[in-house]
Amino acid sequence: MSKATRPSPNTPPRQPDVVRAEKLQAGYAGKAVCGVVSFSVHAGQSMALVGPNGAGKSTVVKTVVGQLEAVSGTAQVNGAEVDDRTLDFRRDVAVVFDDDAFFPALTVEEHLAIVAAGHGVEDVEEVIASELEFFGLTGQAKSRPYNLSSGQRRRMLLAAAFVRPRSLLVLDEPEQRLDTSMRHRLAGRLRAEVDAGLALLVVTHDPDFLSTVATKALFIADEVHSMTPKQAAVAIASENPHAD
């Protein structure tokens, strides 16, 4: 009779998955736009999704967070089927996609205050001031979003994700419309938060950004396969040799 295998006392315990996709097909009207996707990300990991333009990367992440219905397969966040209507999901997951979603009548500062207060943040004014400073928006705090440049609006949306608690952060090409300095600062901050326990899912076309942020990568196309961050950065650079 064989004995059950016991883990070595030097083996670290397996981390629970923050986000997990199982045989997931993402698409529209029941038609998949890319291959079958299976992956997991736990606390302290960051998964970068890379691939050609139009391959379905954004569709995959929107499906993972419940903004689109899956063609087939499943997605879970913190062990529960994805349902972006639930309090637990909205408490745990912060997302920034490549669209300008804002209230025209509210200032930048008011947007951040609503998000922070709505998620039970203490010292709201102090937290907002810190994010405005980090994202270079202190001078625009009283401005309305439609008076900002596209890059400033992008920074406002990113600030709204950082101003609140989250166990999973999902970003769709966060480097877009940011200058080189801000890209580097954002990448460094994201990696520091991942190292501190954040789970991150990010779509990116920037090899330098990916190299800093990602702990693993997934190539999205007709066939989906895992990559190391180094392999993914090379793949991105080969698709866009003029990337800065």
- The fraction of the chain above a pLDDT of 70, given in percent, is 91
pLDDT for the residue 15 = 66
Q: Give the span between the Cα atoms of 147 and 78, in whole angstroms.
A: 38
Query: 242 pLDDT exceeds 90?
Result: no
Query: 5 pLDDT exceeds 70?
Result: no
Q: Give the span between the Cα atoms of 51 and 60, in whole angstroms.
A: 12
Contact 170, 61 (CB under 8 A): yes
Sheet order of strands, 37-42 included: 37-42, 17-25, 72-77, 80-81
Q: Which domains, ranges and CATH numbers included, belong to the chain? A: 17-102+165-239 (3.40.50.300)
> What mean pLDDT comes out for the span 186-190?
98
pLDDT band (50, 70, 90) for residue 103: confident
CA angle 19/128/203 to nearest 5° reads 30
Q: What pTM value is reported for the model?
A: 0.89
What does the pLDDT look like over 210-238, one tens digit per residue?
999 999 999 999 999 999 999 999 998 88
Q: Give the span between the Cα atoms of 193 and 222, in whole angstroms.
A: 32
What does the pLDDT look like over 106-126, one tens digit per residue?
999 999 999 999 999 999 999
Q: Give the span between the Cα atoms of 160 and 162, in whole angstroms.
A: 6
- The fraction of the chain above a pLDDT of 90, given in percent, is 81
Query: 35 pLDDT exceeds 60?
Result: yes
